[in-house]
């Protein structure tokens, strides 16, 4: 979810017009579809009246000559965000048993002219006034810059599927603080309660679509919980839907005045519940620092507003430090915001050093416990919205275990991490930008995709309050020409019509989800067929990442519990820093040596083993220059790996597998004024 901000203005009170009551009372039952018959992709019954799909031709099925699935991936969407934030921030529903008129209607407070559409004018600017009538006229919404109205009506998603999309990640989303401060709501603000409801409604939508096609399992909208199911669904030509979670306080893990409000037991219980709901990917932090990790900042006036929300939620503002590497978080927005009026008297948003652009918060001990808990459950972790300090630690952990389950789904990580993500076997998608910008960024990373043999994805973030591609205009040299062929060539796609409104990407931009195929055609015209071909390989690459995650097996740590010795150990009357503390399997203990450069830690594996990977989890006192040495007898040593640029954290040394009984970490130069200190050393065969 990405929130866009605009100036706040006060509006006068309005009343709801009586016409709304008439609209609320209208219901429509399913009637036979005129297109029904042998065409499996058309329903035997569809609600009437309803949106049109405006796509003809059979959806592609099967695999390509290499046995790979095909299709586009939306790695980041929010189908049911209308149920989040208290239920009145996003207006309209994905579907309704009462029909399209009930689903696509505005929030009550938006009638008669949008004067009380508070969030609308905060996000869009102007005075917030708009025609609230949805079905059947849709004069003012949905629109590419209207961030408070439903964009994911089920028939629009159906059009995207018919246009070639085969994977949709439905991120269950909410934010308790936004809910609590927003004026209008019809429910409580507990985040996990909203997540459960959105998961249930996703399954309800599957049943709703199934009913149109004659029964359970027959519809095109298929929720999947493993990569094999997803491949089967896509091979059948249907849409594989994966559940994810994007929320600010998962499992209640907020922090107040730097004190965590959750425990390891809460994390285990929360992960188990989400997994049982079908969730297979998630964010650990979003917008506000929490007890698990620090966040990547927001910019502009929105940054100020989010920082205020951070203070109201946690009692602390964002804190920054100078970055230690090329990666950096977004600059903190410091422009004035109406949200500042919500601060207690005498409290002000602090200023920030423009040369200190990194969040001081990284991945906490609880956050690391959650990451490892996701690994145990074979879940995929979203690193967008994490601070670079947190992201770096996550990537270190995953690299130390060769764990591929890492996702960047909508351009919110530092782009310098891209190759590390691909190197792990992870998946990258770009935010749904305008075709020019999207194509340029796709081409910037094209060589990396070629190197790793992967496809590409997009993250629409629809219903995520972020803004979507504006129209390029009919005067452009290469507008989308209707009708056009789908990428596979089997379908003909015309302008999309719902009720009395017909949308054209050239003049309307990406107003709703049904225009995803039109946007992809625009990318083909602007960026070329190569960009679209990479997108069409997205489904295969996403499922490669998911399948690799499911098939990951934790390697045996040959060092755990082994005999260890060291050149020295730091003396402390209360705590032992003996060599064995670095191989006891407990990250809360450590070996620490004397405060001099030439120190070593030696591990006896007890027998000769093939050694090809050593992981070192440094405490603050780390080695800048050190060697990994191997020996068969403990006397003759061979250097298998070395570095002179160590920077602490979690290091992974990989080298050609070599038979050895003894492993030695030989310090050459310290990275701090203290000695060398290792929380844990892991030794693996490969």
pLDDT at 237: 98
pLDDT at 122 over 70: no
User: Rg of the chain's alpha carbons, rounded to an integer?
Assistant: 27
Task: Identify the top-confidence range among 6-15, 346-355, 600-609.
Answer: 600-609
pLDDT band at 28 (very low <50, low <70, confident <90, very high): very low
Q: In this prediction, what percent of the chain has a pLDDT beyond 90? A: 85
> Structure tokens of 502?
């017909």
pLDDT at 3: 56
Q: Please, are residues 57 and 224 in contact by the beta-carbon 8 Å criterion?
A: no
pLDDT at 180: 86
pLDDT tens-digit map of 43-87:
999 999 999 999 999 999 999 999 999 999 999 999 999 999 999
Q: Please, are residues 278 and 171 in contact by the beta-carbon 8 Å criterion?
A: no
Residues 6+ apart with CB under 8 A from 345: none
pLDDT at 129: 86
pLDDT at 35: 38
pLDDT at 300 over 70: yes
Exposed e or buried b per residue across 623-650, where buried means at least 16 C-beta atoms within 10 angstroms of its C-beta: bbbbbbbbbeeeeebeebbeeeebebbb
Angstrom CA distances, 87 to 102, 194, 514, stand at 15, 9, 23
pLDDT band at 329 (very low <50, low <70, confident <90, very high): very high
pLDDT at 10 over 60: no
Helices (H), 295-364: 300-314
Q: How many of the other CB atoms lie within 10 Å of CB of 185?
A: 14
pLDDT band at 128 (very low <50, low <70, confident <90, very high): confident
pLDDT at 271 over 60: yes
pLDDT at 335: 84
Report the alpha-carbon distance of residue 296 to residue 686 in Å, rounded: 34
pLDDT at 42 over 90: yes
The SS3 of residue 683 is: strand
In 567-622 the beta strands, taken as DSSP E runs, fall at 591-592, 600-618
CB-based burial label for 18 (10 Å; 0-12, 13-18, 19+): exposed
The SS3 of residue 639 is: strand
Average pLDDT estimate for 580-587? 96
pLDDT tens-digit map of 491-518:
999 999 999 999 999 999 999 999 999 9
The SS3 of residue 181 is: helix
pLDDT band at 36 (very low <50, low <70, confident <90, very high): very low
pLDDT at 7 over 80: no
pLDDT at 29: 35
* Nearest-5° Cα angle at 178, 177 to 181: 85
pLDDT at 307: 92
Any idea what DSSP says for residue 515? G
Q: Please, are residues 383 and 428 in contact by the beta-carbon 8 Å criterion?
A: no
Give which of 174, 201, 199 is closest to 188, Cα–Cα. 174
Average pLDDT estimate for 336-347? 88
SS (H, E, C) 413-463: CCHHHHHHHHHHCCEEEEECCCHHHHHHHHHHCHHHHHHHCCCCEEECCCC
Q: Phi first, then psi: what are they for 382, rounded to 5°? A: -90, 125
pLDDT band at 474 (very low <50, low <70, confident <90, very high): confident
Lowest-confidence region among 112-126, 155-169, 607-621, 640-654: 112-126
Q: How many CA atoms lie within 13 A of 544 on its CB side?
A: 20
pLDDT at 21 over 70: no
Average pLDDT estimate for 375-396? 97
Question: Is the Cα dihedral 49, 51, 54, 55 positive or negative?
Answer: negative
pLDDT at 27 over 90: no
Q: In this prediction, what percent of the chain has a pLDDT beyond 70? A: 94
Average pLDDT estimate for 109-126? 79
* Nearest-5° Cα angle at 594, 591 to 596: 125
pLDDT at 437: 97
pLDDT at 342: 85
The SS3 of residue 227 is: helix
pLDDT at 563: 97
Give which of 392, 395, 385 is closest to 422, Cα–Cα. 395
**Preceding omega of 453 cis (within 30 degrees of 0):** no
pLDDT at 581: 97
The whole-chain average pLDDT of the chain stands at: 92
pLDDT at 540 over 70: yes
pLDDT at 11: 35
pLDDT at 4: 53
pLDDT at 628 over 80: yes
């Amino acid at each position: 979810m990405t929130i866009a901000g605009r100036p706040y203005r006060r509006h006068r009170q309005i009343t709801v017009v009586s016409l709304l009551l008439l609209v609320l009372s209208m219901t429509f039952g399913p009637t036979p579809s005129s297109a029904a018959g042998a065409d499996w992709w058309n329903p035997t019954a569809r609600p009437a009246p309803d949106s049109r799909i405006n796509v003809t031709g059979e959806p592609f099925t099967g695999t390509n000559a290499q046995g790979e699935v095909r299709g586009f991936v939306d790695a980041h969407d929010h189908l049911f965000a209308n149920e989040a934030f208290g239920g009145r921030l996003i207006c309209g529903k994905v579907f309704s048993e009462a029909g399209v008129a009930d689903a696509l209607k505005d929030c009550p407070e938006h009638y008669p002219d949008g004067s009380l559409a508070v969030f609308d004018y905060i996000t869009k600017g102007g005075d917030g006034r708009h025609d609230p009538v949805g079905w059947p006229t849709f004069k003012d919404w949905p629109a590419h810059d209207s961030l408070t109205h439903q964009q994911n009506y089920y028939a629009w998603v159906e059009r995207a599927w018919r246009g070639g999309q085969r994977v949709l990640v439905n991120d269950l989303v909410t934010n308790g603080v936004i809910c609590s401060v927003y004026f209008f709501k019809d429910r409580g603000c507990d985040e996990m309660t909203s997540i459960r409801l959105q998961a249930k409604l996703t399954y309800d939508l599957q049943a709703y679509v199934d009913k149109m096609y004659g029964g359970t399992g027959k519809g095109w909208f298929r929720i999947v919980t493993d990569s094999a199911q997803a491949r089967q669904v896509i091979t059948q030509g249907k849409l594989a839907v994966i559940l994810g979670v994007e929320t600010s306080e998962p499992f209640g893990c907020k922090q107040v005045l730097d004190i965590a409000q959750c425990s390891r037991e809460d994390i285990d219980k929360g992960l188990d519940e989400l997994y049982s709901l079908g969730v297979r990917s998630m964010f650990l932090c979003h917008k506000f620092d929490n007890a698990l990790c620090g966040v990547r900042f927001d910019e502009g006036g929105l940054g100020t507003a989010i920082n205020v929300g951070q203070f109201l939620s946690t009692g602390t503002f964002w804190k920054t430090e100078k970055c230690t590497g090329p990666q950096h978080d977004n600059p903190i927005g410091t422009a004035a915001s109406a949200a500042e009026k919500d601060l207690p008297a005498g409290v002000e948003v602090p200023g920030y050093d423009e040369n200190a652009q990194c969040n001081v918060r990284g991945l906490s001990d609880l956050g690391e416990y959650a990451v490892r808990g996701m690994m145990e459950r074979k879940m995929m972790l979203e690193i967008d919205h994490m601070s670079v300090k947190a992201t770096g630690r996550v990537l270190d952990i995953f690299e130390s275990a060769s764990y591929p389950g890492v996702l960047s789904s909508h351009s919110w990580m530092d782009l310098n991490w891209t190759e590390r993500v691909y190197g792990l076997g992870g998946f990258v998608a770009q935010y749904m930008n305008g075709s020019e910008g999207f194509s340029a960024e796709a081409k910037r990373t094209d060589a990396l995709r070629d190197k790793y043999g992967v496809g590409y994805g997009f993250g629409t973030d629809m219903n995520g309050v972020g803004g979507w591609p504006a129209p390029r205009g009919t005067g452009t040299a290469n507008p989308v020409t209707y009708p056009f062929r789908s990428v596979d060539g089997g379908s003909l796609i015309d302008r999309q019509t719902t009720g009395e409104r017909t949308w054209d990407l050239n003049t309307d931009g990406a107003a709703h989800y049904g225009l995803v195929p039109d946007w992809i055609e625009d990318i083909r015209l602007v960026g070329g067929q190569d960009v679209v071909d990479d997108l069409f390989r997205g489904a295969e690459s996403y499922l490669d990442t998911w399948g690799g995650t499911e098939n990951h097996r934790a390697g045996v740590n040959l060092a755990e519990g082994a005999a260890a010795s060291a050149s020295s150990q730091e003396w402390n009357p209360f705590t032992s820093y003996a060599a064995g503390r670095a191989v006891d399997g407990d990250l809360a203990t450590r070996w620490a040596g004397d405060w001099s450069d030439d120190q070593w830690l030696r591990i006896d594996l007890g027998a000769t083993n093939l050694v090809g990977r050593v992981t070192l989890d440094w405490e603050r006192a780390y080695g800048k220059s050190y060697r990994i040495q191997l020996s068969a007898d403990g006397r003759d040593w061979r250097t298998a790996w070395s570095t002179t640029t160590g920077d602490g954290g979690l290091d992974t040394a990989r080298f050609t597998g070599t038979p050895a009984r003894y492993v030695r970490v030989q310090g050459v130069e310290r990275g701090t004024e203290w000695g060398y200190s290792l929380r844990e050393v892991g030794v693996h065969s490969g």
